Amino acid sequence: MNESHVTASSIRSKRIFYLAFATITLLVLGLIYAWTILSGPIVAEFPDYKGVASQVFQVSMFAFCVSALFGAQIIKRASAKAAILVAAALFGAGFVLTALTASLGVWALFAFYGIIGASGCGIAYNAIISLVNPWFPDKIGLCSGVQMMGFGVSALALGLLCETAFNTEGIWWGMVFIVIALVGVLAMLALAFIVKPAPAGIAATLGMQGAAATVKESPTKNQSIMSTKVFWLYSIWATFVIACGLALIGSVKPGATAIGAEAGFAAVLVGLVSTMNGLGRIINGTLFDKFGLVPVMMISASTAIVTMVCLALSVGMAVLPLYVVAAILVASPYGSVPVMASAYARQRYKAADFAKNLGIANCNIASAALINIIISGILGSPAAGQGPVIYGILAVLAAIALLVVFLFSKVYKSDLAQIAKELE
C-alpha cells in the first residue's frame, strides 16, 4: 500500500470522526433555538415577562451574529481552539447566570441568555465550522449541512427533553439551565483539544483536480467580501429569508396555542420545526453540491413566500392544520441560509479568510433579527393578534428576496467564470 493512499485513508477516517464530534457539539449549542420551550417555565414564574419574552430570542440571534465576528478575530490572531475555549466560558456563564438572576428582572434574560450565552454560541459556531469544513474540500455543502443539522434539530432532540424535565415535579427550571451549561462546556472543551486543523494540501491528497486542489488564489477570490456587489445582493436575499424563519421560530409555541393547540402539541410542533430546520440544512447542502448556489436560493425564497402567506391565513382564520404545515415548511428555507453562507463564503472568496467571511455572511441573521425586533416593537408578537399583518409583511420581503436572486445569479456566475479563468 503506497504512502499517499495511506495518507488519504487516514484523512477520510479523521474527517468523519471530526464531523460527527462537531455535529454532536452543535446539537447542544443549538438549544439557543429552543427559547420558546426554555422560556416557558420562566414566564410561568414571572408573568410580567410575557410581553417581551419573544424579543429575547431576537436579541439572542443578533448577539449570535455579532459575536461570530469577534470569534473570527480570535481565530485569526490565535486559533480556532482559543475561540472555542472563549465560547465555552461565555456559554456556560450565560446559562448559569440566567438561572440564578432571572428573578431580578427581565433585563437578566436579555443580558445573560440573549447576549452572553448567545455570544458563546456564535463564537463556537463560527470556530467549529471553520475548523471542520476544510477537511471536506470535496463536499462543502454536505459538510456544512450535517453540522448545521445538529444545530437545527436541537429543539427536537434536546428541547423536548428539557420540556419533560420542566414538567417533572420537584425539578427547578434553573437546574435544567445549569445542566445545559455543564454539558455544553464539556462538549466544547473536548472538541477544542481533540479536533485538529486540516493538513495543507488536503484536496490534492484526496485526489481532487483543478481549482479545488490548488493553493493558488485568483485576484477575484482575493477581493474583500464587503467590497463586492455580489455580497450585498446575497445579503438582501439572506436577510429577508431568515427574517421569515425567525418570526416563526421565536413564537411558534405561543402562536400555536393562540389558535387552539394544546400546550403539549405546541411543544411537539417546536420539535417538528426544529427537525425540518435540521433536515433542510442537509438537503440544501446536498442540493448545493449538485446544482450550485442559485437554485437553492430560488427554492428557498419561493418556499418562504408560500409559507408566509399560509401563516397569515392560518392565524387570521385560526386554522391550526394550515399553521402546522406552514410552520414546518418555513424551517427549510430558514435552514438553507446558514449552509449557503458557509458554502458561498468558501466558494467565492479567499480560503484563508473563511472564518472572517463566514462571520460577515452570518451577520445577515443579525439584520433579520433587527427587522423582527422593529416589527415586534410596532405590531407586537405574531402570536399577540397582529400575526396576519406581520406574516403578510414578511411575504412581501420574501418576494423581494426572490427578485434579488435573479440579479445575484448574473453577477455570481460572472464572478465564478472569472475565477475559473484566473486559475487556468
For the chain, the structural domain boundaries read 3-422
Mean pLDDT value across residues 281-287: 82
Q: Using one digit for the tens of pLDDT, what is the confidence trace for 89-101? A: 999 999 999 999 9
Q: What confidence score (pLDDT) does residue 216 get?
A: 61
Q: Which residue has cell 470522526? A: 17
Q: What confidence score (pLDDT) does residue 152 get?
A: 66
Mean pLDDT value across residues 106-129: 93
H-type alpha helices, 78-139: 80-101, 107-108, 118-132
Q: What confidence score (pLDDT) does residue 209 get?
A: 59
CA 272 – CA 354 distance, rounded (Å): 32
Instruction: Single out the residue of 167, 131, 169 nearest to residue 147, CA to CA.
Output: 131
Q: In this structure, are residues 139 and 275 in contact, taking their beta carbons and an 8 Å threshold?
A: no
Q: Using one digit for the tens of pLDDT, what is the confidence trace for 335-370? A: 788 888 888 888 899 888 888 888 888 888 888 888
Whether pLDDT at 4 is above 50: no
Mean pLDDT value across residues 188-195: 93
Q: What confidence score (pLDDT) does residue 274 get?
A: 74
The phi and psi torsions of 153 (rounded to 5 degrees) equal -90, 5
Cβ neighbours of 291 (radius 10 Å): 12
Whether pLDDT at 2 is above 60: no
Q: Which CATH architecture has domain 3-422?
A: Up-down Bundle (1.20)
Q: In this structure, are residues 397 and 379 in contact, taking their beta carbons and an 8 Å threshold?
A: no
Q: Which residue has the higher pLDDT, 155 or 47?
A: 47
Nearest-5° Cα angle at 110, 108 to 114: 125
- Determine which of 124-133, 141-150, 193-202, 213-222 has the lowest per-residue pLDDT on average: 213-222
Q: Using one digit for the tens of pLDDT, what is the confidence trace for 214-257? A: 456 788 999 999 999 999 999 999 999 999 988 887 778 888 88
